[in-house]
Amino acid sequence: MKSYVAVDLGGTNLRAARYTPDGELLTHIKHPTLAKDSNESVLDRVVHLVQEVLPANDGAQDEVEAIAIGAPGPSNPFTGVVYNAPNLPGWVNLPLREIMQSRFNLPVELGNDANLAALAEWKFGAGRGHNDLVYLTISTGIGGGVISSGRLVVGANGLAAEMGHVVVAPDGPVCGCGQRGHLEAMASGPAIGRTARARLRGGAASSILELVDGHIKAVTAQHVGQAAKDGDPFALELLNEAGTFIGRAVADFMHIFNPSIVILGGGVAINVGELLLQPVRAAIRDRAMSDIYYINCPVTTVQLGDDVGLLGALALALETHPV
């Protein structure tokens, strides 16, 4: 039976699965990444993970068409090099494709995890039937991917679609990348938590304090989302502000890519849903230069949940090694 191995490298968990060309799941493995807490290197753990999902019979390994890997951080799909994976210590200019091909004697494909999430939602999720889409993940950081005319946009070195690193507030806080006022610095999960803590220290009233027993240092975007779903005005205001920044950026992306759908994923967007989508849509309407850009372009959330990384890797494998 022909099959593909898909690998999703996360800062918390490493996941691998083997699928048929029709997308049927044959086997699935998940292990904690343990990037800093294991004597075994993360790379060794990835190798062992792939070994676990390969066919048990060595002769059957010939039936595996390819291994596809979604890696966090910037990576080059043409050379197979991970430029920098911030949550995986030592992964700087790592020739991951070369290492894995040498180890398994199989074709190996590599892609940025957010780009592959866009590919997954296009092939298997909310983006089915759309050949032009913009995908944003709102989580610890903000990443993204773009499908244009039925093709994933990767750029000359695989660095395209860094959607979180556009300037939305020139005088805003410094982003984790070192630049100021990026969307990620204004509307990611950590950014929402940081703003909440600063305003609570300034005397803002909110039921969030009850969720953390008064310990302001413990407040995160998850607490903000929980309070917002309970109707807390302060929490709703924070989501409205974050959604407004996201919507302004999306309006710009609409002007550039003219998508027929915009999909938001990541823990923040999935957790609060419409509480974030509503201000996003309002900001798009306010900032787009014509309603032609958004009137027939839904803004929605992902359908694939935790499987989006694996299915993105599968989609990459199917595109690059069709049977």
pLDDT of residue 61: 57
pLDDT of residue 89: 78
Of 103, 109, 106, nearest to 44 by C-alpha is 103
* Same domain, yes or no: 313 and 285: no
Give the Cα separation of 39 and 294 in Å (integer): 51
Render pLDDT for 56-92 as a digit per residue (tens, 0 to 9).
765 555 689 999 999 988 899 999 999 988 778 788 8
* Same domain, yes or no: 110 and 259: no
* Same domain, yes or no: 171 and 63: no
* Same domain, yes or no: 96 and 143: no
CATH of the domain at 213: 3.30.420.40
What strands, in cross-sheet order, belong to the sheet with 25-32? 25-32, 13-19, 3-9, 64-71, 108-112
DSSP H stretches of helix in the chain: 42-53, 96-104, 113-124, 183-187, 189-201, 208-211, 221-229, 233-257, 266-272, 274-287, 308-320
* Same domain, yes or no: 268 and 140: yes
Domain count, the chain: 2
pLDDT of residue 60: 56
Give the Cα separation of 94 and 43 in Å (integer): 10
Residues paired with residue 112 on neighbouring β-strands, in sequence order = 71
Considering the domain boundaries, does residue 122 fall inside one?
no
Render pLDDT for 120-140 as a digit per residue (tens, 0 to 9).
999 999 999 999 999 999 988
Asked if 183 and 165 touch (Cβ cutoff 8 Å), the reply is yes
Of 173, 148, 178, 175, nearest to 161 by C-alpha is 148
* Same domain, yes or no: 37 and 94: yes
pTM of the model: 0.90
Which domain covers residue 82, as residue numbers? 3-117+307-320
Q: What is the mean pLDDT of each run of 10 residues along the chain (323 residues)?
A: 92 90 92 72 90 77 88 91 84 93 95 94 95 94 94 93 94 90 95 97 94 95 96 97 98 98 94 96 97 97 90 95 89
pLDDT of residue 207: 95
* Same domain, yes or no: 137 and 247: yes
* Same domain, yes or no: 140 and 282: yes
Asked if 106 and 66 touch (Cβ cutoff 8 Å), the reply is yes
